């Protein structure tokens, strides 16, 4: 997340990229305090001129910093980030082309040499890097250029030339892509075909098991259809893995475990390095699978992958957490060693098809375990791609296996004695069942369950920031996040801002995830849609004010999708079903209280404790809220406060079962057991290092 603009870090800490930007392209700009939120608004010519001057000034700054290579690279990186509107892509295209043209003209001896052709990475297999190809999208070419800059920092003369040429921007306005452009695959997935829209899939395929590092067709006679939530078209068929195949998965893992546990930590880390590279290379492919099967916008799907990737990145440096040693007495040492458990399992939910498997896989295997994964039967595609990449990264046969199915597969995992631990993310009912049955069978279980995340809106908050953040966190990913900000508690006069929040919600674009400018897509299934609409109606029946009704919405292009548009219920009470139950859809319920004390009491009385947030400009108010609130993850002017992997995911109360958290230190502790050794080796007992020539006296 360090490479994203600050506003995106704060507002989309859990879900990844914001919903307003085009898939694979630029992100919405940061809004100044007090600015009016108008999604899709075109910028004026005067504004473009001001931006052109800003670009020129930035380029001129390079001259002053030319001796500070790091500063130059950081500035270029800032300019090339996707934090611009689509109408500025022409400027970015021109800026990139100018840098390359000037660089190659000043260094003719390096033009098109083998080194330059492969400088971005070997992933193009000898083809020209995308920085020379106009067919690749700007995001891909920007990444390639940044790699070029890191290996061949440009001279100040080059930058002066670019400064002069940047004034020609208006003359190349015709190069700007159309607003309806479909995102193109990145260079990292060149040669691999995959859908980038909701209608190009010719024929559904069958999803395979992944056993002993091989994709294996199931012999089952029971199959589950996976439908595109935007069209109801069948994307793939998922097997109900047979008992023999389930046993084969554990056999494979058990056979691989002795060799894998004895593999050095350095070797395991090297495989994690490879996996990081391969996931980045296949980012668009993974995101496209998520959009097609789960319904997220393409930008949000890339955020799903990114947040999982960050866990993989954290696993390349875990050796310091695998044990410790202290000399407790003269010549006596006590040291602890973290050892793997053996075969472990993970059961993943539908709402994060890449992130949750990547919360489990890297931490489990880098600590020496072998993992059996059951992805959601509703969207297994991303997990299957990850398995393919893990094999390519160097994971040995049997270390990672994937099985599929529903209750039968879950029961096998719970009852198989060779499986020592289970990670689960999902609903309350399923999580409680898995925890009870798993622990009764002597297994470790970590289970993340439901949530009702409250946001507290104080009357002194930065209004523009708070309302934008709340709208993004409540309705992003169609509200299907366990950290979605689904409940708003307005303190005092803050309730008067609700009409403005309604207008922001109305402006969000609800359509297919591959569409340009999509903010949120459909919910996962017709059943989920029916349940969400039922909870909305229950709120109305119990006296809530329906301030914005998203029921009955249908985009013209996707009339068969599972659509629920942003919905806001005002005047909600804590005894209403829409408050007591997790809606898990694009529905925001709003409650009014008089004081901060009332807000804290209301939140602490709720059975869930995943996360919460407060919007205020008072440090004292924020401090009081932080100390007195009981939720496990607290955001201060940050609506989705999910921590990066140097920390752990720390939901509490009714949102978690088990003692150890996902990823971070908690994740390592979950997948390992401690062995403590106390050893005495007296230094005076060391063998003499040279011969003794004195006469023996036998004294």
Beta bridge partners of 515: none
pLDDT the model gives residue 311:
96
pLDDT the model gives residue 521:
97
Instruction: Please work out, in degrees rounded to the nearest 5, the angle formed at the alpha carbon of residue 204 by the alpha carbons of 203 and 205.
Output: 115
Q: Name the DSSP class of 419.
A: E
Residue 150 has pLDDT above 60, yes or no: no
Q: How confident is the model at residue 324 (pLDDT cuts 50, 70, 90)?
A: confident
Longest dimension (CA), the chain: 106
Cα 246 to Cα 86: distance, rounded to the nearest angstrom: 49
Residue 169 has pLDDT above 70, yes or no: no
- For 458-479, the pLDDT digits (tens) are 999 999 999 999 999 999 999 9
In this prediction, residues 506-522 reach a mean pLDDT of: 96
Classify residue 32 by burial, with Cβ atoms within 10 Å: 0-12, 13-18, 19+. exposed
- For 100-134, the pLDDT digits (tens) are 454 445 445 544 433 443 333 333 333 334 444 44
Q: Tokens representing 247?
A: 């046993």
Q: Where are the beta strands (DSSP E) in 412-459?
A: 419-425, 444-448, 454-457
pLDDT the model gives residue 561:
97
Query: Tokens 């994971």, residue?
Result: 395
> CB of 311 within 8 A of CB of 655?
no
Residue 50 has pLDDT above 70, yes or no: no
Report the run of H or E that residue 209 belongs to, with start and end: strand 209-211
Report which of 25, 535, 529 is spatially closest to residue 295, judged by C-alpha positions.
Answer: 529
Cα distances from 548 to residues 137, 316, 470, 588, in angstroms, run 37, 47, 15, 10
Q: Give the dihedral of Cα atoms 352, 465, 581, 287; nearest 10 deg.
A: -10
Cα distances from 493 to residues 68, 117, 543, in angstroms, run 51, 61, 21
Q: How confident is the model at residue 678 (pLDDT cuts 50, 70, 90)?
A: very high
Cα 224 to Cα 404: distance, rounded to the nearest angstrom: 10
Catalytic residue, candidates 82, 315, 360, 482: 482
In this prediction, residues 438-462 reach a mean pLDDT of: 97
Report the run of H or E that residue 599 belongs to, with start and end: helix 596-605
Residue 7 has pLDDT above 50, yes or no: no
315 is catalytic: no
pLDDT the model gives residue 615:
98
Cα 644 to Cα 626: distance, rounded to the nearest angstrom: 19
Cα 96 to Cα 162: distance, rounded to the nearest angstrom: 9
How many other C-beta atoms are found inside a 10 Å radius of the C-beta of residue 78?
Answer: 12
User: Which 3-state string (H, E, C) describes 150-162?
Assistant: HHCCCCHHHHHHH
Model-level pTM greater than 0.85?
no
In this prediction, residues 317-329 reach a mean pLDDT of: 81
Q: How confident is the model at residue 691 (pLDDT cuts 50, 70, 90)?
A: confident
In this prediction, residues 370-383 reach a mean pLDDT of: 98
């Amino acid at each position: 997340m360090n490479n994203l603009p600050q506003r995106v870090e704060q507002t989309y800490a859990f879900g990844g990229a914001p919903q307003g930007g085009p898939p694979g392209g630029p992100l919405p700009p940061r809004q100044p305090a007090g600015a009016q939120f108008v999604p899709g608004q075109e910028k004026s010519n005067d504004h473009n001129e001001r931006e052109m001057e800003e670009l020129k000034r930035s380029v001129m700054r390079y001259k002053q910093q030319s001796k500070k290579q790091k500063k130059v690279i950081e500035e270029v990186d800032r300019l090339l980030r996707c934090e611009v509107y689509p109408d500025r892509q022409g400027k970015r295209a021109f800026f990139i082309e100018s840098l390359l043209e000037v660089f190659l003209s000043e260094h003719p001896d390096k033009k098109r040499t083998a080194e330059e052709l492969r400088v971005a990475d070997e992933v193009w297999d000898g083809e020209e890097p995308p920085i020379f190809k106009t067919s690749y999208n700007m995001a891909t070419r920007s990444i390639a250029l940044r790699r070029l800059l890191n290996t061949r920092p440009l001279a100040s003369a080059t930058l002066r030339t670019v400064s002069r040429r940047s004034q020609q921007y208006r003359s190349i306005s015709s190069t700007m892509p159309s607003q309806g452009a479909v995102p193109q695959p990145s260079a990292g997935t060149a040669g691999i075909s995959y859908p980038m829209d909701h209608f190009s899939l010719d024929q559904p395929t069958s999803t395979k098991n992944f056993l002993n590092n091989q994709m294996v067709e199931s012999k089952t006679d029971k199959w589950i259809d996976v439908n595109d939530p935007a069209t109801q078209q069948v994307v793939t068929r998922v097997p109900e893995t047979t008992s023999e195949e389930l046993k084969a998965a554990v056999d494979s893992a058990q056979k691989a475990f002795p060799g894998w546990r004895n593999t050095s930590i350095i070797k395991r880390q090297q495989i994690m390095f490879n996996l990081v590279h391969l996931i980045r290379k296949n980012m668009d492919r993974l995101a496209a699978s998520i959009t097609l099967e789960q319904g997220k916008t393409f930008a949000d799907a890339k955020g799903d992958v990114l947040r999982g990737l960050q866990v993989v990145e954290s696993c390349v440096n875990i050796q310091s957490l695998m044990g410790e040693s202290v000399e407790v007495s003269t010549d006596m040492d006590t040291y602890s060693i973290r050892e793997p458990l053996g075969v472990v399992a993970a059961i993943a939910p539908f709402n994060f098809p890449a992130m949750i498997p990547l919360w489990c896989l890297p931490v489990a295997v880098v600590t020496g375990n072998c993992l059996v994964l059951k992805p959601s039967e509703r969207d297994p595609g991303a997990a299957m791609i990850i398995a393919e990449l893990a094999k390519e990264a160097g994971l040995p046969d049997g270390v990672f296996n994937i099985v599929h199915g529903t209750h039968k597969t879950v029961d096998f995992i719970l009852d198989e004695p060779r499986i020592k631990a289970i990670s689960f993310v999902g609903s309350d009912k399923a999580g409680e069942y898995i925890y009870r049955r798993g622990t009764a069978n002597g297994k470790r279980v970590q289970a993340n369950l439901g949530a009702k995340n409250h946001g507290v809106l104080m009357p002194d908050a930065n209004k523009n920031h708070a309302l934008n953040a709340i709208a993004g966190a409540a309705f992003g990913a169609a509200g299907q996040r366990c950290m979605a900000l689904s409940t708003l508690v307005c303190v005092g006069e803050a309730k008067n801002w609700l009409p403005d929040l309604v207008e922001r919600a109305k402006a969000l674009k609800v359509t297919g995830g591959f569409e340009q400018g999509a903010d949120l897509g459909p919910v996962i299934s017709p059943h989920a849609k029916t349940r969400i609409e039922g909870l909305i109606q229950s709120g109305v029946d119990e006296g809530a004010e329906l301030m914005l009704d998203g029921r009955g919405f249908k985009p013209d292009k996707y009339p068969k999708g599972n659509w629920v548009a942003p919905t806001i219920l005002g005047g909600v009470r804590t005894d209403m079903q829409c408050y007591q139950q997790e809606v898990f859809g694009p529905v925001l319920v709003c409650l009014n209280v008089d004081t901060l004390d009332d807000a804290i009491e209301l939140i602490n009385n709720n059975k869930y404790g995943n996360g919460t947030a407060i919007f205020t400009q008072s440090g004292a108010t924020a401090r009081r809220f932080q100390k007195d609130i009981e939720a496990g993850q607290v955001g201060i002017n940050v609506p989705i406060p999910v921590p990066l992997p140097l920390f752990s995911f720390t939901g509490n109360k009714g949102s978690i079962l088990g003692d150890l958290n996902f990823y971070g230190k908690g994740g390592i502790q979950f997948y390992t057991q401690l062995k403590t050794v106390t050893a005495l080796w007296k230094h005076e007992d060391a063998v003499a290092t040279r011969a003794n020539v004195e006469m023996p006296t036998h004294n």
